Amino acid sequence: MVFRKKSFIISSFFVVIFVTALCYVLFQIPFQKINDFSSNAFLTSNELSEIEKSDYFGPLLRVRVKNDETIKASNEKMKSDFEPEIEFRLFNLIPIKNQKVKILKSDTVLVGGCAIGLVLKTNGVLVVGSSPVTTAQGEKDVLDDKILQVGDVITQIENETVGDGKTISKIVNEEKNRGRELEVKLMRKNREITTKLKPCYDVKSENYKMGIWVRDDASGIGTLTFVNKDNRFGALGHPICDSDTKTKINLKDGKVYNCNILGVNKGSAGCPGEIKGLFMQGKNEQGVVEKNNEYGVFGSLNEDSAFLSSLNEMSVGGRLSVKPGKAQIRCCINGTNVETFDIEIIKTNFQNYSNDKSMVIRVIDEDLIARTGGIVQGMSGSPILQNNKIVGAVTHVFVSDSTKGFGVYIDWMLNQ
């Protein structure tokens, strides 16, 4: 009986030890990071070569490239669209997950930091407000019917393409359309809608009117992030939105211009600052804008663009390269002079889908804080550098603290 009791105690002790050890192992496995390292993960070819030595996934987990020949592949093959397979191994022995990753097309880019002027033309016209029409029955506000909403982008009326406000007036006052209900095609929150709307007869002008204020372009300044070897550029790290409706511009086409920074409105708690710049449309055109999406603004620079001669080449660091700690940003806050300032990366976020808030950063450079208050509007797109690599771009400032803001991983931008 005593022997059985001792055996039970010993068995219980080993069970406790086993369960404790198992809990420790499970606690040490970074399941969230593994999930983050999903099919959206991008690596440079250099990072793929070094991934087996990386401790990114903690002390118990190692990553192995399944096909050793992948590491020995030529640089050209490494930069193609193939997807090598990696394997997560517990204690470098027990396979727990296989995963394909994508390889960034280039290990180096030209790093930006210069201010650029941007002009975007909308694909259709953006509804920014209403203009009540004086009818025989009194004032009529078309938005009261909720058929149209602020932020809608009207693309067609009666199958005719809408390019600007004058086009709307022309279409609704054509003899065949006057006084009748018209078919309207529009985009609302990235969804195409077809609806019917009857323009109002304005007794003052004796014309039919839609009764809306519209905008067909947007302009502003930002910061160039990078240029690759094909002269493709990325900037801002977030989309350009209409200033009134906060709606992302539905891009038709756009232009990039040289920009001269005239001054800065300093930022402070509760009051984001702003860079003030000047550029002339039609002059000093440097390239075209082809995309405006959640990752930023993208396009191509001209072969003779003045930007190309002023930029320096630097290695790319994917998200495996980004660590909390000291870093730098490059931006222009005076004239056309690009300067480098010290920051620190406070936090890197888990992301298994694209997001312009990949990391939290803080400005620690006293010179930049004295001149701008920290991060201000117009600095979006400023390259974030760490360990002599470009790892991201500034995207947002904290309204409550102008020295802090968000940045986006560079790999989200490079694959646009």
For residue 1, give Cα distances in angstroms to 48, 378, 415. 61, 81, 71
Q: What is the C-alpha separation between 275 and 221, in angstroms, rounded?
A: 8
Phi, psi (degrees; rounded to nearest 5) at 315: -70, 150
Q: Catalytic amino acids?
A: 238, 365, 380
Q: Which of 50, 45, 182 shows the shortest CA–CA distance to 101?
A: 45
